[in-house]
Amino acid sequence: MITKRWSYATAVAAATAVVLAGCSASSSSEPSASDGPVTLTYWDFLDPSQDNPRSNALEENIANFEAANPDITIDLSVVSLGDMLNRLPQSAAAGQAPDVFKMFTPTVPQMAAAGAYSPLPEAASEITDWLRPPSNLVGPDGQQVAVPYEYRTCAFYYNQKILDQIGAEVPTTYEDVVDVAGKAGAAGFTGFGTGFSDTDNSAIISTFFDCFMSQVGEPIWNDDGEAEFAGTAADEFGQILADLRDSGGLGTSVVSDSYSTVTDGLTNGTVAMAVLGSERVITLTGANPDIKWGPLPEPTSGGTTGATLGWTLGIGAGTDHTDAAWKFIEYMTGAEAGAVMATGGEIPTRASTYDAEYFSTPEAETVKTVADYVESNSEPHTYSDDWIGVASGLSAAGQSLYLNKTSGSEFITAAQDAINE
């Protein structure tokens, strides 16, 4: 794990006495799993009451787990990633961390440094069929604190109807992307959808950057945990954004655009191209048949291999129910739950899951295609303990690039400086 010069936990030390309103605690009065009924508190950003494929799959899996484990009840709280990042360090310090919680891969080290996790039990090491090694899901002491729940990486999305209208081929390089985006912009479309908003923790620009850095083989941090990428192949990322701006390929609302506004633009046919997570393949192609997807465009030097991302499951700090918590995590990442999860379009993380009957049905073809894409076009890497600082730095630098017409190299330098502040 890469460790910054200062610990994120220091930043929340003043909040250690805070008791969070509405936060379900891991009650010490409950017996252990071996002594009697247990209620596990679980934080997830998905709301099972919503009628969509992912929420329905989560609801089904929790019900199936409770039916198979009648002494364990799951008390789910719907908590957004942003709220988790704010609340978990405080709740852990106050002895009220959830027993189990879902966390995005790049922010696992940040939450581990903040003391939000308990180390996984010995049984976790017995699982050997992860499709990607979970060695980057560790705390400051090197102990594993989370396991992969679902996989994703970046993919290139494009509207074939728009490309046909402007007489353009599907871009295979970022240089081509700039050219086609300019033509699409001149035709009244947003040529390339991205966003510099800090909404959703600046997810759209930071995910794009993360995958680009994997494409060019450049680390984001040095061994001391400092951002150190200016003057490297990362400069091309800034130049791509500057060229998109100058060609008219960016949307006029790029400063405030976020993941959701770009996906909405692709869905309604106003955005020609974008780099987004592969988890959007099923929803985007299902919502608009003109949307196609494929590998990332190639940079000047590098390939199409992006970063392996996704959601993870871990055990909260101070839980009294480690055995029950691990039983729930093991089930949720296992073959039975993984097959149900795949019906919602998410990509299971264990090889054994793909032996389930569902994966021999026509309904599973798209999920299998995306799973194969993630396997062949992404690699995991280690993150520092301040991913949100990276995302915020990129967002601020992007706003300046667009509003103040700064150069691509100035964008990269400004982002690096902001991260290291």
Q: In this predicted model, what pLDDT tens digit does every residue of 41-78 receive, in sequence order?
A: 999 999 999 998 899 999 999 999 999 999 999 999 99
Whether residue 368 is predicted with pLDDT greater than 70 in this model: the reply is yes
- The tens digit of pLDDT for each residue in 376-388 reads 999 999 999 999 9
CATH topology of domain 13-152+308-379: D-Maltodextrin-Binding Protein; domain 2 (3.40.190)
Measured distance CA(162)–CA(293) in Å, rounded: 14
Cβ proximity of 154 and 275 under 8 Å: yes
Tokens of 390: 């990276």
- The tens digit of pLDDT for each residue in 163-173 reads 999 999 999 99
Answer with the residue of higher pLDDT: 32 or 339. 339
Establish whether domains 13-152+308-379 and 154-307+386-420 are of one fold.
yes
Tell me what percent of the residues of the chain surpass a pLDDT of 90.
87
CATH topology of domain 154-307+386-420: D-Maltodextrin-Binding Protein; domain 2 (3.40.190)
Answer with the residue of higher pLDDT: 123 or 22. 123
Measured distance CA(137)–CA(340) in Å, rounded: 24
Q: Span 135-158, mean pLDDT?
A: 96
Q: Which amino acid is at 224?
A: D
Measured distance CA(159)–CA(241) in Å, rounded: 20
- The tens digit of pLDDT for each residue in 393-417 reads 999 999 999 999 999 999 999 999 9
Per-residue pLDDT at 35 = 54
Burial of 313 (0-12, 13-18, 19+ CB in 10 A): buried
Measured distance CA(107)–CA(130) in Å, rounded: 20
Cβ proximity of 216 and 236 under 8 Å: yes
- pTM summary value: 0.89
Tokens of 138: 């560790």
Per-residue pLDDT at 392 = 95
Q: Span 140-161, mean pLDDT?
A: 96
Per-residue pLDDT at 277 = 96
Tokens of 87: 């609340």
Q: Span 209-226, mean pLDDT?
A: 96
For residue 334, how far is the Cα from the chain centroid? Answer: 20
- The tens digit of pLDDT for each residue in 262-276 reads 999 999 999 999 999
Per-residue pLDDT at 270 = 98
- The tens digit of pLDDT for each residue in 95-122 reads 999 999 999 999 999 999 999 999 999 9
Per-residue pLDDT at 201 = 81
Closest of 71, 39, 94, 116 to residue 321, by C-alpha: 39
Q: Span 22-36, mean pLDDT?
A: 42
Q: Domain coordinates of the chain in residue numbers?
A: 13-152+308-379, 154-307+386-420
